[in-house]
Amino acid sequence: MELPNRWLNDIVWDDHGLVPVIAQDAATGDVLMFAFMNREALALTAERGEAVYWSRSRRKLWHKGEESGHTQKVLEIRTDCDNDVVLLKIEQTGGIACHTGRKSCFFQRLGESGQWEAADPVLKDPKEIYG
């Protein structure tokens, strides 16, 4: 879809020109991952209907799934009351968002004993995903 870019101006970018992004499974409501976008990444995400993030470690655009095949089809783009966070409602290709081979990156739960516990299973060996 061809969108005028005015909506991008409404976003409050941080000092590094980035905005935090939450990706949520549109069907289940599961929060799958958290990453950042710059203006170009968000524009591309809207244009393609697939999530494109900004990799802070590699300092480049990161088309999610470019290596793993686990792309994210974007069904809805939201922002919050301060316009400084983006929420994507997505369809997660392969049902795996995390590089550990799990559905969601948020698989560690604080247990009663005061320790982080892996609460969700590995669905696919990362070695198989990334070869």
Please, what is the end-to-end C-alpha distance for the chain in angstroms?
34
Q: Which amino acid is at 126?
A: P
30 marked as binding residue: no
1 near a copy of itself, judged by CB under 8 A: yes
In terms of DSSP H, where are the helices of the chain? 6-10, 39-48, 126-130
Contact pick of 58, 82, 121, 128 for a copy of itself (by CB under 8 A): 82
28 near a copy of itself, judged by CB under 8 A: yes
Distances in Å between the alpha carbon of 118 and those of 79, 98, 100?
30, 13, 11
Minimum CB distance to a copy of itself, residue 70 (Å): 14
25 marked as binding residue: no
82 marked as binding residue: yes
In the annotated binding site for Zn(2+), the residues are 81, 98, 105
